[in-house]
Structure 1
Amino acid sequence: MGSRWILPEPPSVEAHGLAAALEQPLWFAQVLVTRGVETPADARRYLVPSMAELHDPNLLLGMQEAVARVLQAVAKREPILIYGDYDVDGTTATVLLKTAIDRITPLDSNGRGSSLVRFHIPHRIREGYGMQTGVLGEAAAQGVRLVISVDTGIRAFAAADECKALGLDLIVTDHHLPDGIAGIPDAVAVINPNQPFCEYPFKELCGAAVAFKLAHALLHAATKPPADPAHYRTVEFTALWDKLLPSLLKLVAIATVADAVPLTGENRTIVALGLRALRDPRQGGLRALMDLAGVSVDEENGPSATEIAFRIAPRINAAGRMDVASDVVRMFLTRDPAEGRAIAEKLHQLNEDRRNVEATVLTALEEQMVALRGDEVALAAAGCLVLDGEGWHRGVIGILASRVVERMGRPALVIAHEDGQAHGSGRSVPGFHLLDAITAAHSEAQPVIFDRFGGHAHAVGFSMPSDRVSLLRERLAAYAAGRLSPEMLQQRIEIDAEIALAELTPDLLKKLRLLEPFGHGNREPLFLARACTIRDEPKILKERHLKLCLSAGDDTQVSCLCWSRAVPWPERLAELGIGQGSIVDAVFRVRENKHPQFGGAEMELCDLRLHESPDVP
């Protein structure tokens, strides 16, 4: 099934007015309008984010109870356990909350500063996802009296019960969707913008951002005179907040990008300010990791969200996928540059290991995908794909589920079997709520399928007995049959504006930077160029990618690189009858080539069609 091009509407009155008010080209205003920015005032807020746009953390249900209990623990010098998760979101949340609590902890009776906070990051393979009761028992035996979960815990009912039995107070901070039937765990406080009755105005925060909100409220409460009702106006708070804010923003920005939450509203503000703070990494471990990832920054230019997503985040995630994610926390916390660099180098190597393991499993998955493509009846009946194999590494199945969705164009679960147990991860397509799908499959009849599961609309994770995978496949097929529409399976290419090749200049690159950060929910603009000529014979790279040169009637020439797609480019070109000399319409993103001799704007092709094709609007 070919992709469907969604062409932009003719420039609206709002777009023309915005272009004039901002003194920007019409395409720039069109991009803003398609993102709901229609007035000059809205545009200035969008283009120049500020801390003033962040909501009061006390609007989160449970915040006041959580702050009171943490301050009580600090005053009584009670040991605190932060229970995190093994991904970027969970590890950075652990670091920033520990940093904030340490900062408000007074000196002990001997005039010494010592941390009350310890942390636990579960081992993906040995412990699995979520809060484990055994860890809580060990913490209680060591004197811990308060447990704070970050990026986890919203479905940790057994852990909450265990905390009560052990005499531990529990604060849950999370962003995942709660159980629609069981509700939320019994705890001193639950902070989650998605929990029932929480009226917080922005629901798309990641786990580290929820922890950031708690840190914000804690720092304010710890520095505000008891009788002062003013919100964040004390000299003490301002001094402390201004000192800590850059380091906290760096962490929450990395997590927000890595967790693929929408870059709209508060998230856009957090990431924009965090990327600005990352111009000066300062902390030795982070600086070393950026160097190893090939991400260069200076006083004027921080990393892009794309660099965070594809260079920084994979190296951080590699620790949890392949080894022990607690190393990430230590890397961010250490003040020893040598130790920070040593851990960063370890993460870099783990990421190389992850790539090798991923390639091995992907080969096995490709065999299953080829078989499915060759059986259209089975593919249509499956709806949501369930691909599984024995001995696959659990740490890479989430990444590979995304690869399957990209190549097959439909929701997919990838499952690894080991000793009769199955661990799976799933990704979806727009419009198909994957958590609803596996929830229905789990509980629609006996026996129930999963031992544990959770997630959200686009991504899920679960564990189950291996002998129930066939049952899961059957139930998901039945569920998808009435809900997975042909429109969901057809790739939609939403074009923002039409431009000429001659407009691909350094000035256009500068204007695109004003619209950053880009990511999920605030995608990079897609442009359409019509009637372009393919000058040379298209070059196929590594059997899947494509390189070509396009020209326009004014002799403008632009280099174009095209990465692999669901249908490999050689097949796509043959299908369309496209080759040297063909006149095509091209949909593309704009990229900057930083080569000292051949630098400038170039195209990253998303799709192309013959210009004379009757199905091109």
Structure 2
Amino acid sequence: MVSGQAEIQREWAARAAEEGAIQHVMATASCPRGIAHLLVSRGFTDEAAVKSFFSPSLDDLIDPMRMLGMDAAVERIRRAVRSSEPILIYGDYDVDGTTATVLLKTAIERSATKENPAIVRYHVPHRIREGYGMRTGVLADAAASGVRLVISVDTGIRAFAAASEARALGLDLIVTDHHLPDDAQGVPDALAVINPVQDGCTYPFKGLCGAAVAFKLAHAILRAACLNDHERHRLERTLIPSFLKLVAIATIADSVPLEGENRVIASLGLRELRNPVQPGLRALMEIAQIPLDRPPTATEVGFRIAPRINAAGRMDVASDVVDLFLTRDPEQARDLAAKLNRLNDDRKVTEARALEAIDEELSGMQRKQGQFPAICLVMDDPAWHRGVLGILASRIVDRTGRPALVLTHEDGQAHGSGRSIPGYHLLDALTSVHDEDRALFARFGGHAHAVGFSLPSERVELLRERMEHHSAAILLQEMLAPPLEYDAEVSLEELSGRFHEWLERCGPFGVGNREPVFITRSVRLASSVRVIKDRHVCLEINSGDIRLRALGWSRSGMLWTELCQRMQLDVGSRIDIAYRLKAKSNPWYTGLELELVDLRLSESPATA
């Protein structure tokens, strides 16, 4: 673990919330003050907005026909289904792309009749052999096999060459994607482009993941196939909730903002994941040790389900995921889930080896300069596996608070992935350094916070120089060491089971609806600091008659053992704590506990 970050004392800043609005929310929702403060600070003040926040429903989903290109796409797909034209779905190898493939294939097949079934094939590219994006060779093979309609999912918004090739081959192309279009070239020349962030699309929510965009098309197809009100009611109240299971997994895994329609999708989808019937999903949850008698949490999806799905594309072939979610055979489902679990174990080992080298380089950087430079870090090693580059970039961001690009090399080409911090638009950065006199990249794309790219290995040093120059001019100190924003100040006495129940109703938490941070001032240390595994700490704190356990996990640059030693904490020490509230239930400990985010010696008067 890299050291040194704990020495910087962060400023604590309360998220603004007007007192009158807090009182109004408390009165209308009958919720605790800390919860009302949380809602007001996040923009929920009127009664309707508060009610929708606490109780998202299917009625909160936006009509898919409001998306630009939807009419033409649905009409062409319906025509292909009626005439038994073979359709190819061109997917991607991550959670977003594989679940999108399953959703759209299932919807098209369900929209057909038993007498005239749909013919739907799919292609999920191999990460190493093909890489991200649509390949013209795949389209040529599809055309030769009789396919006349190709639908991309989670890819295609910059597939200009593929779109031209499709037109030359006589293929109709429908692009569904959520990545940012090219500012200069616009969107590909396709029969329809469905992407809420494209120019001219008036769809009111722009933050959908790729699977959610595919789900919107699936929803529109199924609605168009309904023959009467009974079928439409069954679609909206039975099939659509069932589809939301996979959309929720993709939404959480792709780290899109859990606000607006995304929060509705995640909330409803998690609810539907309780005790799933589909054999593949059930087997995956069982092997991930997620109880089936309750809905999983967003954390369980993000850290137990999603990594196992992603492991297929990172370490082997992502088509196994599609097979897993399409099979009706429980034995095959268990075999495929077990394979994904093994691949995820392999991924962990591969990642750990690379992180050892990264931590050594980061530690050397700190020893030499005293702190991490205020730039986008660019690190490369030909030994690193292409399947874990995105994870490694995320780990560097966690450890340093700097944006990072991570690359590996193969046959003279460098392949990379990047992750960023709030305020630094990584795709704009790549666009800027690419558009200089000497072009850098063979291909690149992504979002503000995550990118993928490739370039000749000989240009990596030039990439490093350009990114250093670009980021040094943009990365401000407040971006690199932002204040700790907390949602409300509460007392330990307020942290009841009822408070936690209300807190759970504010989820699911993730990007855009981050897990709340609370602060409590002037609590006393009831016992000596207990060190766990040489890195983590457990504090017993009390205020009045309330006594709780607070845990500090040494990750993301915070070294709790060093911090506690430097503060000379001992029994009776008074401290202010920033934390997240957790509920634990295991054979050794049941009840509420605190997950420390920060702490400092208290300047407030002592409390009993």
TM-score normalised by the chain length of structure 1: 0.94
Aligned to 1:306: 299
1:186 aligns with 2:189: yes
**Contact 1:391 / 1:418 at 8 angstroms: preserved in 2?**
no
Aligned to 2:409: 417
1:338 aligns with 2:331: yes
Aligned to 1:31: 38
1:61 aligns with 2:64: no
Task: Give how far 1:190 is off.
Answer: 0.2
> Can you list the C-alpha shifts for 1:456-475, whole angstroms capped at 9, x where unaligned?
11111111111111111111
1:159-174 equivalences under 5 Å are 159-174=162-177
**Contact 2:109 / 2:120 at 8 angstroms: preserved in 1?**
yes
1:150 to 145, 148, 153: 153
Equivalent residue of 1:218, what SS? helix
Task: Give how far 1:379 is off.
Answer: 4.1
Aligned to 2:584: 593
Seen in structure 2, the aligned counterparts of structure 1 residues 524 and 377 have a Cα distance that, compared at 3 Å, is closer
1:200-239 equivalences under 5 Å are 200-223=203-226, 234-239=229-234
Aligned equivalents of 1:279, 1:75: Cα separation in 2: 36
Aligned to 2:23: 16
Task: Give how far 1:498 is off.
Answer: 1.1
Aligned equivalents of 1:138, 1:540: Cα separation in 2: 60
1:199-348 equivalences under 5 Å are 199-223=202-226, 234-298=229-293, 301-348=294-341
**Contact 2:18 / 2:40 at 8 angstroms: preserved in 1?**
no
1:401 aligns with 2:393: yes
**Contact 1:322 / 1:354 at 8 angstroms: preserved in 2?**
yes
1:80 aligns with 2:87: yes
1:486 aligns with 2:477: yes
Equivalent residue of 1:482, what SS? helix
1:436 to 428, 446, 459: 428
Aligned equivalents of 2:17, 2:75: Cα separation in 1: 54
Equivalent residue of 1:608, what SS? strand
Equivalent residue of 1:390, what SS? coil
Task: Give how far 1:223 is off.
Answer: 2.0
Task: Give how far 1:239 is off.
Answer: 2.5
Q: What amino acid is the match of 1:187?
A: A
Aligned to 1:6: 13
- Could you say what the CA RMSD is over the residues aligned between the two structures, in angstroms? 1.7
Q: What amino acid is the match of 2:462?
A: L
1:534 to 525, 549, 567: 525
**Contact 2:285 / 2:305 at 8 angstroms: preserved in 1?**
yes
Equivalent residue of 2:342, what SS? helix
1:43 aligns with 2:34: no
Aligned equivalents of 1:210, 1:46: Cα separation in 2: 22
Aligned equivalents of 1:378, 1:581: Cα separation in 2: 34
The percent of aligned pairs where both chains have the same amino acid is 55
**Contact 2:81 / 2:118 at 8 angstroms: preserved in 1?**
no
Task: Give how far 1:610 is off.
Answer: 0.9
2:516 to 504, 513, 525: 525
**Contact 1:276 / 1:302 at 8 angstroms: preserved in 2?**
yes
**Contact 1:177 / 1:455 at 8 angstroms: preserved in 2?**
yes
**Contact 1:2 / 1:490 at 8 angstroms: preserved in 2?**
no
TM-score normalised by the chain length of structure 2: 0.95
Equivalent residue of 2:128, what SS? coil
Which consecutive unaligned segments of at least 5 residues does structure 2 have? 1-7
1:556 aligns with 2:551: no
Task: Give how far 1:260 is off.
Answer: 0.7
**Contact 1:2 / 1:491 at 8 angstroms: preserved in 2?**
no
Aligned equivalents of 1:469, 1:612: Cα separation in 2: 50
1:365 to 358, 378, 387: 358
Aligned equivalents of 1:445, 1:581: Cα separation in 2: 64
2:536 to 545, 549, 558: 545
**Contact 2:13 / 2:485 at 8 angstroms: preserved in 1?**
yes
> 91-100 vs 565-574, which deviates more?
565-574
